[in-house]
Amino acid sequence: MSKLYSGAEIVFKCLEDQNVEFIFGYPGGAVLPIYDELKNFNSVKHILVRHEQGAGHAAEGYARSSGKPGVLLVTSGPGATNAVTALTDAYMDSVPLVCISGQVPTHLIGTDAFQECDTTGITRPCTKHNWLVKDVKDLEKVIHKAFEVATTGRPGPVLVDIPKDVQFQKTNYTKFKKQKKLNGKATNQFSQKDIDELIKLMSKASKPIFYTGGGVINSGPKASELLRELVNMTGFPITSTLQGLGSYPGEDSQFLGMLGMHGSYEANNAMHDCDLMINIGARFDDRITGKIDEFSPKSKKVHIDIDPSSINKNVKVDLPIVGDVAEVITSTIKTIKKVKPNFAKSNNQKVSKWWEQIQKWRSINSFNFVNSTETIKPQYAVQRLYELTKNKDTYITTEVGQHQMWAAQHYKFDKPNRWMTSGGLGTMGYGLPAAVGVQVAHPNKLVIDIAGEASVLMTMQEMSTAVQYSLPIKIFILNNEYMGMVRQWQELLHDKNYSESYTAALPDFVKLAEAYGCVGIRAQTPEELDDKIIEMINTDRPVIFDCRVDKQENCFPMIPSGKAHNQMLLGPKDQKENKITGKGKTLV
């Protein structure tokens, strides 16, 4: 008779068979049998976090920087509810996570037992799917299915809830063979006809634009290479969403910068005026489209997405192509090469006027800001950070708020999987634990969390994790003592009533760093900034960098709520010239 394994052992057998190297977790009563088995499985390393939300975000950082699913292990009740924010975050940003949670023994389920909660009920709307395993015989099948669901089609989080008695029960385990090429429920539905139609639209267009998103990243590094080939071969301009940054080189001349609420003037105007929009792996999010009724009124729209439910959800499109980005672009390139080998040449003239127009918009230089010699401008800080780290294959995470937008505007990425930010859910406190996960996946790379002082305090406890595992993450805090984005909205829309957006009692971040056993660095003037940044980079330990920046700076350009793409508020210069309103000029 073959050997019988306990549920807890089966969990690890499955993780081994799925080639999981790291799990992020926190022990507790209902997962103790699983933790007890940890010592017997050397190929799986456990990273002990300080809060389950941290485990989730660390797993997200791990997944997004490595392309592999992130795994977290939490206990029942509060362990599971603490992970909910991270699961929702992963759901919104399509990050593959497998969350294994303990549950009270089956005979206690429904009795309001100690640390019991309806975990599958609570996480149902924030996972792709979840399972409560009531019989150990189902466990193996469920865990492998969980990995399949998380990583195929449009990726996302899943949760497997395992009652404590099931962790003790014994059954057989059959070695799992990974099937190749799974597409989940969303299979590639596109046909050659769709590709032909796309190429027809492309050759007719005189004002085309590529609008790319996180789907390109999720499709794998190959997709980014293919995207570059396609963009170069067509000569079309390209803009990217927040999540798509890095899929196309940020310094390339065909790249118009990020689009959307705080995107570049040229990208948003080009989106508004284009006659052909090719959306590759983006989802027409409201921060991108602005006012839907006035969104790119004159364009034919193509939408390439692996998730059929993304098509026509927010914006009606003319040509939907459901499929994996890499496969769609491969077919497109192949067909162009066959049908129109000189596509770029023959098209050059047609789009040259369009490029002229784009150059005009570009000359406005919308990411510009008024620099200062006395105070550090946050944009300047990000620019310097970029200049001093750009040759190091740096991984950047962020929190949420003004600093996040400045990072997106001024830090240029030329590779995918280097930029981890919470876009959909907008989770303050994402960046620090995410950096922990990124550093775990890439122990020898430079990992920086560009942070705000308010966000970073939400998950500051994970510095302790970084110290425990000698993860030399760098927390680069743009400290303006305000919840900057809240303050900006209050200034622009609520008559400068700065209700509760100022933090009157902040910790001394340098001392805090020392208390955690890492290194604290403070920069207060533009002069000393470069040296301090270099000091940070050269420190082989975790660093909290307290960068004291201008307290009043706002993030521009900006599309105000309910406005169209061509009605951007430009930056501080506009404000200065227009002191009467003090609210910036609305350009039409």
Partner 1 sequence: MAKSKSAYSTPGKQGKLDTHIIVVWVDNEAGVLARVVGLFSGRGYNIESLAVAEIDPKLNISRITIVTTGTPQVIEQIKLQLKKLVPVHKVADFKREDKKVIFKEMALFKIVGNQSKKEKALKACKKYNAIILDKSNKSYVIQITALRREIDLMSKNLKKLGLVSVSRTGAVAMTRGSEIFK
Catalytic site positions: 52, 114-115, 164, 485
Amino acid at 403: H
Q: Which stretch binds partner 1 (CB under 8 A): 50-58, 123-131, 378-386, 402-410?
A: 123-131
Taking the least distance from each CB to partner 1, the nearer of 170 and 185 is: 185
460-519 positions binding partner 1, by CB under 8 A: 489, 493-494
In residues, how long is the chain? 588
Taking the least distance from each CB to partner 1, the nearer of 312 and 348 is: 312
Q: Are strands 97-103 and 22-25 parallel, antiparallel or unpaired?
A: unpaired
Among 75, 241, 289, 366, binds partner 1 (CB under 8 A): 289
CB of 153 to partner 1, least distance (A): 8
- As a dihedral over the C-alpha atoms of residue 391, residue 382, residue 213, residue 221, rounded to 10 degrees, the angle is 20
The verdict on 128 binding partner 1 (CB under 8 A) reads: yes
CB of 578 to partner 1, least distance (A): 17
Give the tokens for residue 298: 């004159």
CB of 125 to partner 1, least distance (A): 5
CB of 312 to partner 1, least distance (A): 6
Q: Where are the beta strands (DSSP E) in 124-275?
A: 129-132, 157-163, 170-171, 208-212, 238-240, 255-258
Q: Where are the alpha helices (DSSP H) in 469-525?
A: 484-493, 509-516
Amino acid at 117: C
82-111 positions binding partner 1, by CB under 8 A: none
Among 129, 390, 412, 585, binds partner 1 (CB under 8 A): 129
Other CB atoms within 10 Å distance of the CB of residue 380: 20
CB of 313 to partner 1, least distance (A): 6
Taking the least distance from each CB to partner 1, the nearer of 128 and 362 is: 128
User: From CA 561, how far away is CA 190, in angstroms rounded?
Assistant: 35
555-574 positions binding partner 1, by CB under 8 A: 560-562
Q: Identify the H or E element spanning 387.
A: helix 378-389
Peptide bond between residue 507 and the one before it cis (omega within 30 degrees of 0) = no
The verdict on 182 binding partner 1 (CB under 8 A) reads: no
The verdict on 149 binding partner 1 (CB under 8 A) reads: yes
Q: Classify 55 as helix, strand or coil.
A: helix
The size of the interface with partner 1 (CB under 8 A), counted in residues, is 29
Taking the least distance from each CB to partner 1, the nearer of 285 and 399 is: 285
Taking the least distance from each CB to partner 1, the nearer of 29 and 308 is: 308
Taking the least distance from each CB to partner 1, the nearer of 82 and 120 is: 120
Taking the least distance from each CB to partner 1, the nearer of 434 and 454 is: 454
Assess contact for 52 and 72: CB atoms under 8 A: yes
- As a 3-state breakdown, the chain gives helix, strand, coil percent values, each rounded to 5, of 45, 15, 40
Give the tokens for residue 472: 């030399």
CB of 271 to partner 1, least distance (A): 15
Q: What is the DSSP letter of 376?
A: B
Q: Which stretch binds partner 1 (CB under 8 A): 285-293, 331-339, 345-353, 375-383?
A: 285-293
- Sign (positive or negative) of CA dihedral 327, 328, 333, 335: positive
User: From CA 396, how far away is CA 442, in angstroms rounded?
Assistant: 12
The verdict on 120 binding partner 1 (CB under 8 A) reads: yes
User: From CA 252, how far away is CA 123, in angstroms rounded?
Assistant: 42
The verdict on 135 binding partner 1 (CB under 8 A) reads: no
Taking the least distance from each CB to partner 1, the nearer of 224 and 488 is: 488
Assess contact for 97 and 158: CB atoms under 8 A: yes
CA 388 to centroid of chain Cα atoms? 23
- Sign (positive or negative) of CA dihedral 242, 243, 249, 253: negative
In angstroms, the Cα distances linking 366 to 124, 166, 288, 430 are 42, 58, 17, 28
CB of 131 to partner 1, least distance (A): 9
CA 252 to centroid of chain Cα atoms? 22
The verdict on 339 binding partner 1 (CB under 8 A) reads: no
Assess contact for 93 and 85: CB atoms under 8 A: no
Taking the least distance from each CB to partner 1, the nearer of 315 and 587 is: 315
Give me the phi and psi of 205, to 5 degrees please: -70, 140
Contact pattern from residue 290 through residue 319 relative to partner 1, giving x for each residue in contact according to CB under 8 A and a dash for the rest: xxxx-------------xxx-xxx--x---
191 Cβ contact partners less than 8 Å away, ≥ 6 residues apart: none
- As a dihedral over the C-alpha atoms of residue 431, residue 436, residue 438, residue 444, rounded to 10 degrees, the angle is 130
User: From CA 306, how far away is CA 321, in angstroms rounded?
Assistant: 8
- What does R_g of the chain's alpha carbons equal in angstroms? 25
242-281 positions binding partner 1, by CB under 8 A: none
Q: Classify 243 as helix, strand or coil.
A: coil
The verdict on 121 binding partner 1 (CB under 8 A) reads: yes
User: From CA 378, how far away is CA 525, in angstroms rounded?
Assistant: 11
Q: Which stretch binds partner 1 (CB under 8 A): 42-50, 124-132, 457-465, 541-549?
A: 124-132
Taking the least distance from each CB to partner 1, the nearer of 101 and 234 is: 101
Taking the least distance from each CB to partner 1, the nearer of 291 and 415 is: 291
User: From CA 89, how far away is CA 425, in angstroms rounded?
Assistant: 5
User: From CA 401, how far away is CA 386, in angstroms rounded?
Assistant: 19
Positions that interact with partner 1 (CB under 8 A): 120-121, 124-125, 128-129, 132, 149, 185-186, 286, 289-293, 307-309, 311-313, 316, 489, 493-494, 560-562
